[in-house]
Structures are given as C-alpha cells and as structure tokens.
C-alpha cells in the first residue's frame, strides 16, 4: 500500500497479491485515517506501507515533511507490526496530472484533487515495486 500524504487529503493505492500492478484505492482525510486503516487491515493483508517522502527539487526535505513525520509516528504507534518505507515523491503530482491528460481526462476531471492524490499514490507504489524488483 502506498500513501500520498497531505494535511487535507491522503491518496491511497494498493497492489495485487502478486505485486505486479498498482491501482488507486481511495482518498481519505487524515483525521479519518486511523479508523480507515484499522478496518482495512482487518479485511486485507498489507505487507508494507510506502509513504511518499516530500522533498524539494534539490532533494532537501520540504515543509510538508514535518506533518508527515508526525503522522508516521502515530501510524507506527497504532500499527507496529506493519513495516513503513519511504519513497521519494518529487514530481509525482506533476506525473499524475500528465497521466490524467494522457488518459484523455477533461479539465473538470483533472481538477479533482482527490483523483490527483490517488494517481500520485499509484506512481509512488509503482516506483517502490520497481525499486524493490531491481534490488
């Protein structure tokens, strides 16, 4: 599972059992996240959580890294048995937007920020799976 964390929305993506393809799952508000994960983890097996790591273009941590770190600490406290990984998320929102254009979505559809967040989570998860495969 990959999470594109934001203080207003979290895009979530998952992969199939064979870990071949990433697909968008949902977008949730961070205040609802722990309840969502508790329910989801009871129904589905999740091997690892991959959080998008927010960085500036030069590779330094962005301002959004602070609330993400706080959320990850809270997540680890509630779900200590689920490993957490980080994946550079630079340019994922831009890539998501371009993917939406390439897919033929109109301007109104592309303005759906929750769709951008879910698509960014897919890109994060695909990148993680590729990196893992190359190890």
Question: What does the alpha-carbon distance between residue 120 and residue 11 come to, in Å, rounded to a whole number?
Answer: 7
Is pLDDT at 30 greater than 90 in this prediction?
yes
**Residues in contact with 104: Cβ distance below 8 Å, sequence separation at least 6, in sequence order:** none
User: Which of the four pLDDT bands, split at 50, 70 and 90, describes residue 8?
Assistant: very high
**CATH number 3.90.1150.10 given to 2-134:** no
Is pLDDT at 91 greater than 80 in this prediction?
no
Is pLDDT at 103 greater than 90 in this prediction?
no
Model pLDDT, residue 15 = 95
Q: What is the mean pLDDT of residues 8-25?
A: 93
Question: What does the alpha-carbon distance between residue 73 and residue 81 come to, in Å, rounded to a whole number?
Answer: 13
Question: What does the alpha-carbon distance between residue 88 and residue 124 come to, in Å, rounded to a whole number?
Answer: 8
Consecutive H or E run containing 94: helix 92-102
> pTM here?
0.85
Is pLDDT at 135 greater than 80 in this prediction?
no
Residue in 61, 1, 48, 3 with CA at minimum distance from that of residue 30 = 3
Model pLDDT, residue 29 = 96
Mean pLDDT of the chain: 87
């Amino acid at each position: 599972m990959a999470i594109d964390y934001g203080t207003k929305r979290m895009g979530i993506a998952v992969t199939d059992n064979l870990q071949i393809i990433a697909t968008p799952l949902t977008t949730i508000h961070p205040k609802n996240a722990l309840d969502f994960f508790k329910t989801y983890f009871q129904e589905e097996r999740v091997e690892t959580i991959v959080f998008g790591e927010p960085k500036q273009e030069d590779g330094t941590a962005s301002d959004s890294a602070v609330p993400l770190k706080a959320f990850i600490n809270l997540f680890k406290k509630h779900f200590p048995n689920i490993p957490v990984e980080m994946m550079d998320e630079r340019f994922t929102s831009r890539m998501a937007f371009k993917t939406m254009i390439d897919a033929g979505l109109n301007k109104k559809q592309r303005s759906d920020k929750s769709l951008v967040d879910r698509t960014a989570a897919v890109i994060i998860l695909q990148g993680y799976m590729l990196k893992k495969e190359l190890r």
